[in-house]
Chain A
Amino acid sequence: MSVVKRISNALAAVAVLPAVALGDNQVNMSPGVTSIGAEIYDLHMLIMIICVVIGIGVFGVMFYSIIYHRKSRGVVPSQFHESTKVEVAWTVVPFLILIGMAVPATSTLLEVYDNDDAELDILITGYQWKWKYEYLDENGENVSFFSNLATPQEEIYNTDQKGEHYLLEVDEPLVIPVNTKVRFLVTANDVIHSWWVPEIAVKRDAIPGFINETWTKVPEEGIYRGQCTELCGAYHGFMPVVVHAVSREEFDAWMGSKRADKAAQVAASAVDLSLDELMTRGESVYNSQCLACHGAQGEGGVGKAIAGSAIALGDVGAHLDVGIKGVAGTAMQAYGSQLSDVDMAAVITYQRNAFGNNTGDVIQPSDVVNHKQG
């Protein structure tokens, strides 16, 4: 929709009828797909309806008064100004209504807290500004990966048409099996984040140094989207959550391929790549991992400039050090555990040969492996 058209729609909505504005926009909480979500929705509606009914009563009396008790109608004001009976009544009656609300609220809350008997445990770690998912495995063969915003910068900065799932799409979603009680262990790496997916009614703060838990059991296959809901720094608005709920078979197959990927990555570290291959791969890694802070042209921003920087033009080892270990006390994280060795090699090569940094250095995955081992 063009901007002009949207403005005129919004203005029309403002001027004419609220109903026009509602259109196909979502105006209410979604019950979502889980049983907890449905209970929360019912509770939300119950309390809202009670409030609306009370509101109609209270405002009704007020507007009656405004219409019929106006001075311009020549009424003589009454002078009554207290009544203990009335005061007691409107203290006790609301109190009873509140008790009526508290009962279902308590039972829903207890269900939310019932984390027992989970069949799958997933550790969710919030990072500035991405999520890490780690599937805990009894045999220590944990599978883990990072989930980054996949929306390109061009869409965010309005040089490209925005896609359907603008800002709510990631490079690698969390995959969970349906009809399985999944326990989420939630923590954070740096500041406090909050992991929220409205459709499955899960929101839990991720606190550095501490672990929180919550759970879900998704009955329907589908893609569920959410966002970080605790202010976590500059790119707080750019760390979405995407959950794919799939059948058990599909999940097992996915898990199998993840494990195979892990093995393949180790193997790939031993293979040398050409400069072109490294540059192509490095560019995509750069755009998803580095660009937000270091700029599309390596000009810097939250992070330092890469174009013409002493690190990118200087010693390869020092450059790898920054990439792998990060810089303590700054937003520059240790990417050694976040990127595969191939991606690390590619992005370092890219940084040293893009944005006018023509060092000609080619860093191979094996160099990264060797560097990590000292």
Chain B
Amino acid sequence: MRLSADPTTDTVLKLVTVVVAMFAFVFVVMVPLYNVLCDALGINGKTSAQAYVAAPAAVDTERSVTVQFIATNNDSMPWEFRPQVTSMAVHPGAANDTVFFAANPTMQHMVAQAIPSVSPARAAEYFHKTECFCFNQQPLEGQSDTLMPLQFIVDQDLPKDIKTITLSYTLFDVTDRVSERIASR
């Protein structure tokens, strides 16, 4: 295909197209593709940001998997944040409930976002959250606390050699981001 009668102009136009395409490639291909791959392969122990719709399946009562919970605060996040139960033994296929405790000791209203990460990373795709406080931001008035629910199912297809799954939440202070977004409206 020729873009111009002049061969030099033709070459230049084609190359400019490549440049523009590669710039766009970063935004419209690399970023979404990375996220898709992360979700699918559990790169970084990322889990899906959407609630899992449970398909009814048999509970494998023969097998028991330990699920550990970890809570960390990012940077200077002042909240108290911890799991109510630090680990539980679950059967693949069964629905499980637990809660995390969060308290805002400051005088101000704050908004937090919890980011989940699963280890080992290859367990991430078998760890389904049917309900999670991490799907939404968590606002909390100063000097108050709350219990945040988590409901999950460990998939029956979890590779047999995985006996422990660690679910870690990192709590980020997103108060500024939220107020900026309101201000910009």
Contact = CB atoms under 8 A, between A and B. Distances in A.
Do A and B come into direct contact in the complex, CB within 8 Å? yes
Given A189-B73, A333-B75, A136 B163 contact: no
Interface stretch (B5-13, B15-23, B52-60, B115-123): B115-123
A137 B68 CA distance: 10
Given A136-B86, A185-B119, A332-B76, A325 B45 contact: no
A189 B75 contact: yes
A326 B72 CA distance: 16
A116 B86 contact: no
A229 to B, nearest CB: 19
A190 B73 contact: no
B116 to A, nearest CB: 9
Contact of A325 (B76, B85, B117, B164): B76
A121 interface: yes
B76 A333 contact: yes
A328 to B, nearest CB: 5
B1 interface: no
Nearest to A332: B76
Contacts of B173: 328
Given A115-B120, A207-B44, A334 B76 contact: yes
A329 B85 CA distance: 32
A326 B74 CA distance: 12
A325 B106 contact: yes
Interface in A95-137: 115-118, 121, 123, 125, 136-137
A334 B74 contact: no
Given A211-B45, A326-B76, A334-B78, A140 B120 contact: no
Interface residues of B, number: 35
| Top 3 closest pairs, chain A to chain B, by CB | A326-B76, A211-B168, A334-B76
A189 B74 contact: yes
A20 to B, nearest CB: 48
Given A136-B70, A138-B87, A328-B173, A187 B44 contact: no
Given A125-B72, A209-B115, A374 B168 contact: no
A121 B67 CA distance: 13
Interface string A129-151: 00000001111101000000000
Counting chain A CB atoms within 10 Å of each CB, the highest count among B70, B73, B76, B83 belongs to: B76
Interface in B61-107: 68, 70, 72-78, 83, 85-87, 105-107
A299 interface: no
Interface string A174-195: 0000000001010101100000
Nearest to B66: A138
B86 A326 contact: no
Given A211-B70, A213-B166, A328-B173, A139 B75 contact: no
Nearest to B122: A113
A209 B161 CA distance: 26
A336 interface: yes
A140 B86 contact: yes
Contacts of B72: 123, 125, 187, 189
B120 A334 contact: no
B170 A121 contact: no
A345 to B, nearest CB: 17
Given A190-B74, A190-B75, A211 B68 contact: no
Given A116-B161, A326-B76, A374-B143, A210 B105 contact: no
Nearest to A336: B78
A336 B80 CA distance: 10
Given A210-B117, A211-B45, A213-B119, A117 B86 contact: no
B119 A325 contact: no
Contact of B170 (A117, A187, A327, A374): A187
B79 to A, nearest CB: 10
A185 B77 CA distance: 21
Contacts of B76: 325-328, 332-334
Given A137-B86, A328-B173, A209 B166 contact: no
B37 interface: no
